[in-house]
C-alpha cells in the first residue's frame, strides 16, 4: 500500500549497493546515495567506503537500479467531477506502485481546470490526498471548448505547468496561432492532441483492412498528419513551444523529424500502448483496446520505436485514462476511449530495453530528464541538492500484468496476463518511501 510523503522529516537515509542511473548526466555506475530530509545530500561510487554511521537508516538496493523517480506527463486523475473513475488518492497510489513520483494531470475535469481557483484546488487536494507530486496542466481554451483562450499567464502563475485541451484538438487555426504567440512571450508549453476532428469524429479504430473486416468506422492516419502539419506552420509563424501528445503514426514521426531538423521548438510524446500494441489488439471488438488516437498498424508501431531511439519522440507517457466498467463494457463504437496506464508504464517501457530496441539509459531518460526539462520541473535527476524523488527498479525479474492486481480505481487494461520483466521495488518522494514492493533492508 502506498503512503503519504507530506508529513514528518524522513531524516537521513543511505541507499547502498545500487546501480545508479541518471539520464540527466548520462550516469550509469555502481554506487550509493544519501538523502537528508527531502533532498539528495550525496551521491557517487565511493560514498560510504568507510562504512555507514549508525544514525543513518540504510536501504540495500541489492544491486538493482536506483534512478530518479519517473515523471508521467499525461494522466487523468478524475477530480473534480469524475471520482467514480479515479481520485487523486487512488490515481497517485497507482503512480507510486509504478515508480512514478510526479504526475501531470489533464484539465478535462468537471469543472474544467480553466481558472486559477481550479489550479489551486488541485494543488490543495494533492497536498491532502496524493502520495506523489501532482502538477496540473491548465486548459488551453475555456471549458476546453476551443472557442476562447484561457488566461494562461495567470494559470501559470497559479501553478499550471503547460496548456492543453486534453483529448480535444483545437480546431480553430486563428485561436491556435494566438495561443502559440502568447505562450512564446512567456515561454509556456502548448500541448496538442493532434487529430483533425472532421476526419476523426465518426471513427473508432485505425483505418485499414482490419476495420473493414470488423465493419467499424475508422480514423485515417491523415487525421493526425493534417493536424500536425497545420500546427507546425503556426509554430514557424509564432516561435511558440509546441508538444504533440500521444502520436501514433509513422508519418507523424517523419514530419516531426523534419520540423526538428529545421530547428522548430517542437517535442512529442508517445503513450506506452501505442508502442506496446498494434491494431490487432482490438481482436473481436475488444473495447479495452479502444484508445484515442487509435492503435495503429504494425509498421506505425515500429516507426514509433525508431522515433524514440533517434530522439524524434521525447517522452513516454502512460496516457492514464481510467474508465469504469460501464463505460468500457459497451459495443466497441459506444465504448469510452482509454487505458489505465500508471502502473504498467514502467514494465512495458522496459520491454524496449529487453528486446534490444532502445538502450536502458534512453528508456529512462524519456520518463525522467526529458519531461523534467520540457516542463521546467526541479526533479528528474540524481544530483546533490535535488529533490529526493527516487525509484529502485528490478529490471530483470519476470512477472505477469494482472487486471486484478492493479490498485487504480478503474482497471481498464488490455494487458491482463501479459508477461513482462522489471518493476518498481521502492518509490521515494521527498525522501519518504511511499511504496515498497519487497523489503530491501
Catalytic, out of 72, 231, 314, 319: 319
Q: Output the pLDDT for position 49.
A: 82
Cα distance between residue 400 and residue 193, in whole Å: 31
Note the pLDDT tens digit of each residue in 294-342: 999 999 999 999 999 999 999 999 999 999 988 999 999 999 999 999 9
pLDDT bin (cut points 50, 70, 90) of residue 439 is very low
pLDDT at 278 over 60: yes
Sign of the CA dihedral with 189 first, then 131, 42, and 345 last: negative
pLDDT bin (cut points 50, 70, 90) of residue 8 is confident
Q: Output the pLDDT for position 9.
A: 86
Retrieve residue 252's grid coordinates: 507523424
Q: Output the pLDDT for position 3.
A: 58
pLDDT at 265 over 70: yes
Span 209-219, average pLDDT: 97
Closest by CA to 342, choosing from 77, 3, 22, 113, is 77
pLDDT at 116 over 80: yes
Average pLDDT in the chain: 96
Q: Output the pLDDT for position 50.
A: 83
Note the pLDDT tens digit of each residue in 404-427: 999 999 999 999 999 999 999 999
What letter does residue 279 receive in the DSSP assignment?
G
Q: Output the pLDDT for position 6.
A: 58
Percent above pLDDT 90 for the chain: 94
**CA angle (200 as vertex; 203, 266 as ends), nearest 5:** 140
What are the b/e assignments for 64-78, b being 16+ CB within 10 Å?
bbbbbbbbbbbbbbb
Q: Output the pLDDT for position 7.
A: 62
Query: Which value, to the nearest 10 degrees, does the dihedral of the CA atoms of residues 81, 149, 172, 227 take?
Result: -70
| Three-class secondary structure of residue 189 per DSSP | strand
CB 231 within 8 A of CB 245: no
DSSP for 13-32, written as a single string: EEEEEEEEEETTTTEEEEEE
Q: Output the pLDDT for position 200.
A: 94
pLDDT at 1 over 60: no
Percent above pLDDT 70 for the chain: 98
For the whole prediction, is pTM greater than 0.85? yes
Cα distance between residue 31 and residue 17, in whole Å: 6
**167 is an active site residue:** no
Q: Output the pLDDT for position 2.
A: 59
Note the pLDDT tens digit of each residue in 378-408: 999 999 999 999 999 999 999 999 999 999 9
Cα distance between residue 365 and residue 45, in whole Å: 21
Note the pLDDT tens digit of each residue in 13-70: 999 999 999 999 999 999 999 999 999 999 999 898 888 988 899 999 999 999 999 9
Domains of the chain: 69-375 (3.20.20.140)
Q: Output the pLDDT for position 51.
A: 87
pLDDT at 441 over 60: no
Q: Output the pLDDT for position 303.
A: 98
Q: Output the pLDDT for position 5.
A: 60
Amino acid at each position: 500500500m502506498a503512503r503519504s510523503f507530506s508529513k514528518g522529516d524522513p531524516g537521513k537515509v543511505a541507499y547502498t549497493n545500487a546501480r545508479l542511473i541518471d539520464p540527466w548526466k548520462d550516469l550509469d555506475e555502481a554506487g550509493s546515495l544519501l538523502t537528508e530530509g527531502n533532498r539528495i545530500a550525496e551521491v557517487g561510487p565511493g560514498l560510504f567506503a568507510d562504512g555507514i554511521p549508525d544514525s543513518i537508516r540504510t536501504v540495500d538496493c541489492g544491486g538493482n537500479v536506483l534512478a530518479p523517480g519517473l515523471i508521467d506527463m499525461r494522466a487523468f486523475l478524475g477530480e473534480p467531477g469524475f471520482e467514480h473513475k479515479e481520485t487523486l488518492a487512488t490515481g497517485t497510489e497507482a503512480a507510486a506502485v509504478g515508480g512514478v513520483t510526479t504526475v501531470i494531470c489533464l484539465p478535462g475535469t468537471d469543472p474544467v481546470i480553466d481558472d486559477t481557483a481550479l489550479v489551486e484546488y488541485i494543488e490543495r487536494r494533492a497536498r491532502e490526498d496524493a502520495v506523489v507530486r501532482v502538477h496540473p496542466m491548465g486548459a488551453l481554451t475555456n471549458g476546453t471548448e476551443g472557442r476562447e483562450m484561457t488566461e494562461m499567464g495567470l494559470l501559470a502563475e497559479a501553478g499550471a505547468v503547460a496548456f492543453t485541451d486534453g483529448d480535444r484538438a483545437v480546431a480553430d487555426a486563428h485561436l491556435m496561432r494566438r495561443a502559440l504567440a502568447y505562450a512564446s512571450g512567456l515561454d509556456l508549453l502548448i500541448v496538442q492532441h493532434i487529430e483533425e476532428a472532421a476526419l476523426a469524429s465518426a471513427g473508432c479504430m485505425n483505418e485499414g483492412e482490419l476495420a473493414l473486416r470488423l465493419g467499424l468506422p475508422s480514423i485515417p492516419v491523415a487525421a493526425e498528419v493534417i493536424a500536425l502539419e497545420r500546427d507546425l506552420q503556426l509554430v514557424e509563424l509564432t516561435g511558440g513551444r509546441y508538444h504533440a501528445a500521444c502520436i501514433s503514426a509513422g508519418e507523424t514521426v517523419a514530419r516531426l523529424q523534419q520540423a526538428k531538423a529545421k530547428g522548430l521548438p517542437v517535442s512529442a510524446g508517445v503513450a506506452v500502448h501505442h508502442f506496446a500494441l498494434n491494431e490487432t489488439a482490438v481482436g473481436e471488438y475488444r473495447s479495452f483496446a479502444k484508445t484515442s488516437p487509435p492503435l495503429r498498424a504494425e509498421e506505425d508501431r515500429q516507426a514509433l520505436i525508431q522515433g524514440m531511439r533517434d530522439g524524434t519522440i521525447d517522452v513516454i507517457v502512460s496516457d492514464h485514462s481510467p474508465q469504469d466498467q460501464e463505460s468500457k463494457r459497451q459495443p466497441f463504437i459506444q465504448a469510452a476511449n482509454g487505458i489505465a496506464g500508471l502502473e504498467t508504464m514502467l514494465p512495458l517501457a522496459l520491454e524496449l530495453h529487453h528486446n534490444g530496441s532502445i538502450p536502458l539509459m534512453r528508456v529512462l531518460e524519456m520518463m525522467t530528464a526529458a519531461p523534467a526539462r520540457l516542463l521546467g520541473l526541479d526533479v528528474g535527476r540524481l544530483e546533490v541538492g535535488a529533490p529526493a524523488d527516487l525509484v529502485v527498479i528490478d529490471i530483470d525479474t519476470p512477472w505477469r500484468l494482472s487486471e486484478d492486481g492493479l490498485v487504480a480505481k478503474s482497471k481498464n487494461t488490455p494487458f491482463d496476463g501479459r508477461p513482462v520483466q522489471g518493476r518498481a521495488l521502492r518509490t521515494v518522494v521527498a525522501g519518504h518511501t511511499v511504496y515498497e514492493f519487497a523489503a530491501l533492508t
